Structure 1
Amino acid sequence: MQLGANPSPVLRIFGSCNGLLAVCHSEQGVIALWNPSTRKCHYLPTPGDDIMDHDIVPRYWYSDNTVLGFGYDVCNSDYKVVKMLRSKTQNCFKVMVYSLKAKSWRIKDCPYGNPRDFIDGAYVNGALYWVGDEIGKISRGKLIFTFDLGTEEYYVIFEGDIRFRKEKCGYDGTIFIK
């Protein structure tokens, strides 16, 4: 994946924070953090065998349906990339968390899932936000849940009827859903 003045059209920007862009090559599955001002790029390593167990749907690693998030962990002064994965044998979701400071991946269980329309997380005030469902309930987005990048804990911030058109973003401490 070459990043420079004219990035490839197959690159998907899935987050930005403090001047860094988080990009994914939709055909190769390569993830990178790119500083367009300096044109420096940090490529994330492929997770080791201990992280990528066989229960995770392989297509989620390289698919356009991969749900990603990127933000800054103010508690630990660290940038983190979050990748949401679905198990192929169990009714559960997991997240993989990449720490730029530790330069490594780790995996965590996720009590929520079915991210609505496979939309990437919106970053606001140290946390990533998704519209989704509780595991085992397919209700087309009945809650907004968050993953705190500092504590790496999940919280539900809203439950109810949520209707939107694939657009959400975070700006100046506020999350918008349209």
Structure 2
Amino acid sequence: MISIENLRQILNVKFFQARGLPEMLVLDILSKLPVKSLTRFKCVCKPWSSSFQTPLFITQHHHNHLTHDHLNLLVKRCDGKTLSDLSYFSQLSTEKGQNFSLKQSIHLPVFEMYYTHYVTVHGPHNGILCLECDANIICLWNPSTREFKVLPQSSIQRPPSAADTSFSGLGFGYDSQTDDYKVVRFIDNAFEYHCYGNSYYLETTYQVDLYSLKGNSWKEISDPIIDRGVGVRDTTLLDNYVNGFYYWLATAPQGYIILSFDMVNEMFSTLPLPEFDGGFEQCHLHLLNYNGLLGASVYPSEGTPKSFDLWVMNGFWTKQFSIESVPGVERPLGFWKNGELFLESSDNELVLFDPSTREFKNLGIHSYKEMQIVAYVESLVSIDGRSEHEEHVIRWTAEDEVG
């Protein structure tokens, strides 16, 4: 085991040269460091800078941090202190003993430029987040390398007879065969019919656009499942990415189903819902990643205290566990490392709940509107974008906020 002091000594070019350490050992040591340190070390020597950009090093670096469970935590929130009510991100400390204290806040002016006051986060995957605006602007963001990319607009034609076109859902994932990141977007085309001089929309057809980061372009996907009238629900908690597939809660002619998309084969398939009591008239359903499997958290839409059932899909749905009568909470936000559950309280506070001890910890984070938790592992993956500085992204520390 290398101590911190020894690591500081090793991270010196003269030390490497004097000891004659093999290059692979040097890179192995460097791959265990955070992105912030590697960014500084790029200027130490050209071979290091070049090595940090190779696929092998990028993969090894991400694997090391993933293996050691080095998670970073962002909270998308809105404090309601301004008229615009713009969303922003708060980064919480995940170091032992820090109790999720506020490290810094991040404001992305790109959303203000496009007149949007709400942003939904999809992903992350390999440290990359996909951000969807209510103005139908989509961005990719690597908060570790501080790289930001606004995706180009799709030029795919919509039916000329459509009276109204809207965007109803989005997904973001990774194609492991082509080493490509993809964005799936659903478009609803409503057709207008007339009855006794009054207009009304009678029929909706669906289109699916697919963006490729490698090609930096969109294409249309035709699929028989979509042609049969399956459409996704446009809400944050009803979608998630798990092991190469993106999942949405969807509507179909026969009722509610789960729609999945294979990022490699670019094909859709469907899954049934878990058989929970009450149905959607009385319950909410939250799709999530539970230890690499598709999970579904089901909880009552009304009333307090609330109970939460976790279902897991592993060939078929099984109820993993239930958390009974949790007082003062509104909805689950996601799991943490040791099975703890992030919750949003009835007072819009961020709470960490330990099911084994039934202990609550109020983390002192408040949001005027719904929060979203984003846990990600650092990554050096490039998205061929611009720096946060060029996009005028503003970061400020907790000390700055107090001051």
Q: Which bracket does the TM-score occupy, shorter chain normalised? A: 0.7 to 0.9
Q: What runs of 5+ residues in structure 2 fail to find an aligned partner? A: 1-87, 90-104, 109-116, 192-202, 298-403
Contact 1:57–1:85 (Cα < 8 Å) also in 2? no
2:213 is aligned to 100
- Shift of the 160–109 alpha-carbon distance from structure 1 to 2, 3 Å rule, reads farther
Q: Are 1:156 and 2:276 counterparts?
A: no
1:46 counterpart SS class: coil
Going from structure 1 to structure 2, the CA distance change for 1:117 and 1:12 (only over 3 Å counts) comes to closer
The two structures have a TM-score, normalised by structure 2, of: 0.37
Whichever structure has more helix as a proportion of its residues is 2
The CA RMSD measured in Å over matched residues stands at: 2.7
Q: Distance in 2 between matches of 1:92 and 1:25?
A: 23
| CA displacement, residues 1-53 of structure 1 (integer Å, 9 cap, x when unaligned) | xx995135632212211111110222x321111010111111110011xx141
SS at match of 1:85: strand
Match of 1:53 in 2: 158
The answer for the alignment partner of 1:6 in structure 2 is 106
For 1:60-71, list aligned pairs within 5 A.
60=167, 66-71=168-173
- Identity value in percent: 29
Q: Which residue, 124, 127, 142 being the options, matches 2:245?
A: 127
Which residue, out of 147, 150, 153, partners 1:43? Answer: 150
The code of the aligned residue for 1:109 comes to: S
User: Is contact 2:210–2:219 with CA below 8 Å preserved after alignment?
Assistant: yes
User: For residues 288 and 273 of structure 2, what CA distance do their matches in structure 1 show?
Assistant: 19
The TM-score with structure 1 as length reference comes to 0.78
Q: What is the total number of aligned residue pairs between the two structures?
A: 164
- Does the alignment pair 1:73 with 2:175? yes
Structure 1 residues 172 and 79: alpha-carbon distance in aligned structure 2, compared to 1, 3 A threshold? farther
SS in 1 for 2:177: coil
Q: Which runs of 5+ in 1 are unaligned?
A: 61-65
Cα offsets for 1:105-139 (capped at 9, x unmatched): 011134242324645531111111122243xx152
Greater RCO, CA 8 A, separation 6+:
2
Please tell me whether residue 31 in structure 1 is matched to residue 138 in structure 2: yes
